[in-house]
Amino acid sequence: MKILTAEFLRSCVKPEDFPKDRLPEIAFVGRSNVGKSSLINSLLNRKKLVKVSRTPGKTRAVNFFHVATADPRLKNFYLVDLPGYGYAKASKSVLAEWGPMIEQYLKARPELRAVFLLLDARGTEDHDASTYAWLCDHVQRPVLVLTKSDKLSRSERGASLAAVRASFRLSEADRCAPYSSVTHEGRDELWQAIRDLVKRDQ
């Protein structure tokens, strides 16, 4: 994908902060530390556009990145980095703010064309399954991405994909693909998924 520009727009902590220009939005959801911010950097071929941290809970607001590409179907849109869930060390008050913020964003955006749910290729947790179910019921069926695939061997990757497909009861048509923000494995496939989903209702 030829990226023309990729810029941080702003960090939103309440719905009034969300942009009002109606551009298509693509959101990334997943547990804290799963690799959401790294994946956005990898997709955009930037090293430090989005802050990445070894400490879980780095992304605490809804962060919008404005992107322009050379693809006529993806001229102008936002990638949206959501705070991670399941970070037990965050203070209680921060935790109480997180859930509603994510919920408010996901439920209130007609601009939202695609939701990617990121899962660690090395194993999922109960919270991942409940988030998947919640997204299917309240927002839209998310596309699953198995992150950090570089940490697994080829055969382990196959086993991980099969395990997720079975436990999330995916159909043939449901996408689920490995991704590595280190080797960029899966990047072209992810852009293809974004293209297909953005085109869907334009």
Give the interface with ligand GTP as residue ranges (CB under 6 A). 30, 32-38, 52-54, 56-59, 84, 147-148, 150-151, 180-182
Check binding of 124 to Mg ion (CB under 5 A).
no
DSSP conformation letters of 90-149: S-HHHHHHHHHHHHHHHHT-TTEEEEEEEEETT---HHHHHHHHHHHHHT-PPEEEEE-G
Q: Between residues 58 and 113, which has the closer beta carbon with respect to ligand GTP?
A: 58
Which partner, Mg ion, ligand GTP, none, binds residue 181 by CB below 5 to 8 Å per kind?
ligand GTP
Q: Which stretch binds Mg ion (CB under 5 A): 9-17, 31-39, 61-69, 181-189?
A: 31-39
Q: Shortest gap between Cβ of 29 and Mg ion (angstroms)?
A: 11
Q: Among candidates 63, 69, 74, which has minimal Cα distance to 11?
A: 63
Is residue 156 within 8 Å of residue 192, measured between CB atoms? no
Which of 33, 41, 42, 59 lies at the binding interface for Mg ion (CB under 5 A)? 59
Phi, psi angles (nearest 5°) of residue 168:
-95, 5
Q: Which chain residues interact with Mg ion by CB under 5 A?
A: 36-37, 58-59
